[in-house]
Structure 1
């Protein structure tokens, strides 16, 4: 198995323009189904700050996108979004769910990318020090270690993706999936299965979660927000947004990813 160490814009520029509309539609439906699965467990309300981002750009003539962010009594910030131009081979989709501080279970992070090759990411974003807190590691990362190692051996079509940005590398847990791959039917089915399994596992963790003491919630919420903001603002793929829509709209989209313009209050405080 080889390794990919390239910037997203390099991967896009080095590949011929290819229409990926069919795969984009499939992936959008997949993330929509997973979002609905999460919405079936949590009470969610769309934050008004993203209402006018439901559709931006013009999908009939060029780049376009959609971003919806939700919050609720147990969810600090959930993002369901896409950006790109499927007809030219680039599209980026996100489904991320950041829990409120009433529990300490990991957040859910996932993304899908076509450039026009495939790329996917899914992870349980830690809520603390998984090296200093062995019990936390044993609860949420040790159970996935064996299957994570087996995946690397069983799926040679998938190439581990190493970000050229050290901060992004540091944001990955030891059992994160972060791979590029040829978007063949078997590989697309594999990605769908992994994302579905990870969402179901995350929901099972939340169902068994123990409450965080009230006195500790503010500090946990502060850390969550710092992590979410840093990941959104330091994502090297933001350059693609600037290419398509310029810096002003891109900065607004980045703020929407972490809740910089949110109207509704944060939960659990």
Structure 2
């Protein structure tokens, strides 16, 4: 009872268990009220004259250049337009003309305070690091000089967090960020915080509402009234605070009614006033997030997600502080830095748009999908909108390939390319123009897992990296990180996972549970159809998770087209969870007859005596090892508009189990 993407020995093991076989962030635009649906569009052009104390960059973004292939982003034309439209920031001239005061001590104290606030947020909200941009943990310039860093985070309520700095503190300038963007399911504002020297000490604080403040007074009161006194006190204290007022009306519109944006003449006074104020804002924001009610309406969540993304893009593109990043890092390195600041994942600047553009040019390659399970995977991917698909095969003359070519459901959507995974030169040629790869399998099902499974995967992944692939999705196996009985085939899948993770290519690792198609094989089907008995070597109340091969195709498509939830992650996949008795009942319901479960204890004893691997396999299942989050997968598909998961009962109905004339080859 094993997934067919593992070797025949596990399939045989499954057979032996059966009766017939006994062996073998900055801000989000306050644009509309909660009931409005129209997204905000910026009006007019940016001011040609910017103030000398203009606000430092809070978020940065722009296009992906060739040299930042690792980010693999297709960017809409408007992004470059908005960045290009920003005139030269006059602070650059002021910086050039000023004596380069050493602000290192100021920088260190600001970093210490920023980190104190971050760790408080991390503790209260349970943030985990997102490792998409690990190459930016230490940004260096000429002579190995350190010019900045950026770390990103996610949480149950946080879509994207930024903890970063950039600059040259010994030469007066630095810009330190702590920004938290709530996700669309959380009814809470965002947090924006900047400590900087330009070269005077500077602070920006905002608890940012996500709806139009002017026509949503109840919402405004709910979100910002608790911080209003602190804001008013700071703004009226003109003796210490030097308010920043942008000449650009768009930048002014980005700030909420409770924002604080100011510089100081004296750093000691800054520490006495600005640091406590920052703590007050952060504490208030944490309370708001922890107490936030969930956004229940799918429509409202969609509006928030769209608005957050749209305005974040505009405000980042228009931020004049980008020009400092260009100067210190160079345009190419800045591009990568800006994507990380903005939260544009390597395949997520409109990931669906980027992937769809690649798909339209035939830029998706499926490997190991010419066998029996491969057809179901292809159908699931095509049903999800992933088309056309290029399929790698050793020879287009193989009978199985010819069947796929003539399949009426597949024919309009697929094409083939020949390559031999044992010949790297042919693989590199096959990957010309390929941007996305789904690796289903690299070897046939054999009794002993062949070492070539790993070497072929290494060949494929090396070629994909050489050709600047944007995303690779690997079909592994659940429990590769928990294999107490050292089942060889799972161990080998784990080895390939490491190859994928260490490739430098953005990845998603899918870990399927038991494939439902296993139960279509003759040794199961004959027992159920003829004897109305489903025999197995587990107790009748032991639960196992199941997934259809078609759902693997859907998950592959989802990972490529909408990678936000799975990029650089492992995802366990299942569509149903049933006891052995419930599996038998599902068979019976599909046939309109009674099918009973038979716990065959003798099989475990035989396996212990004759086949230690099989015996360990039985013990593996006795521990109910699979832990896929089925409800979460279900919700993600609904939110993304992908086909729903198949339960085992739906699988039996869709594959026409009750038709006695059908067999596995008909699937």
Contact 1:47–1:69 (CA under 8 A) maintained in structure 2: yes
- 2:261 & 2:243 partners in 1: Cα distance? 6
| 1:124–1:59 Cα change, 3 Å | farther
Deviation at 1:266, TM superposition (A): 4.9
Partner of 2:100: 17
- 1:49 & 1:61 partners in 2: Cα distance? 23
Secondary structure at 2:132's aligned position in 1?
A: helix
* 1:62-81 superposed matches below 5 A: 62=145, 64-81=147-164
Partner of 1:185: 268
Partner of 1:228: 312
TM superposition score normalised by structure 1: 0.91
C-alpha offsets along residues 196-249 of structure 1, whole Å, 9 cap, x if unaligned? Answer: 100000011112211111412122112112222222222100000111111111
Contact 1:9–1:237 (CA under 8 A) maintained in structure 2: no
- 1:175 & 1:26 partners in 2: Cα distance? 25
* 1:2-151 superposed matches below 5 A: 5-6=51-52, 7-58=90-141, 62=145, 64-151=147-234
- 1:244 & 1:48 partners in 2: Cα distance? 24
Deviation at 1:150, TM superposition (A): 2.4
2:159 aligned with 1:159: no
Contact 1:158–1:180 (CA under 8 A) maintained in structure 2: yes
- 1:218 & 1:246 partners in 2: Cα distance? 36
Contact 1:65–1:83 (CA under 8 A) maintained in structure 2: yes
How large is the RMSD of aligned CA atoms in angstroms? 2.2
- 2:223 & 2:317 partners in 1: Cα distance? 26
How many residues align? The count is: 266
TM superposition score normalised by structure 2: 0.38
| Bigger fraction of residues in strand | 1
Deviation at 1:132, TM superposition (A): 1.2
Between 177-186 and 189-198, the greater mean CA deviation after superposition = 177-186
| 1:225–1:161 Cα change, 3 Å | same
Q: Which has the higher contact order (CA 8 A, sep 6+)?
A: 1
Aligned equivalent of 2:285, options 202, 212, 234: 202
- 2:236 & 2:155 partners in 1: Cα distance? 40
Secondary structure at 1:209's aligned position in 2?
A: coil
Partner of 1:238: 322
- 1:59 & 1:107 partners in 2: Cα distance? 36
Bigger Rg, which one: 2
Partner of 2:447: none
Contact 2:206–2:260 (CA under 8 A) maintained in structure 1: yes
Between 255-264 and 94-103, the greater mean CA deviation after superposition = 255-264
- 2:146 & 2:322 partners in 1: Cα distance? 14
- 1:61 & 1:74 partners in 2: Cα distance? 37
Contact 1:225–1:258 (CA under 8 A) maintained in structure 2: no
- 1:206 & 1:247 partners in 2: Cα distance? 36
| Structure 2 gaps, min length 5 | 1-49, 53-89, 347-505, 507-562, 567-635, 640-667
- 2:344 & 2:312 partners in 1: Cα distance? 10
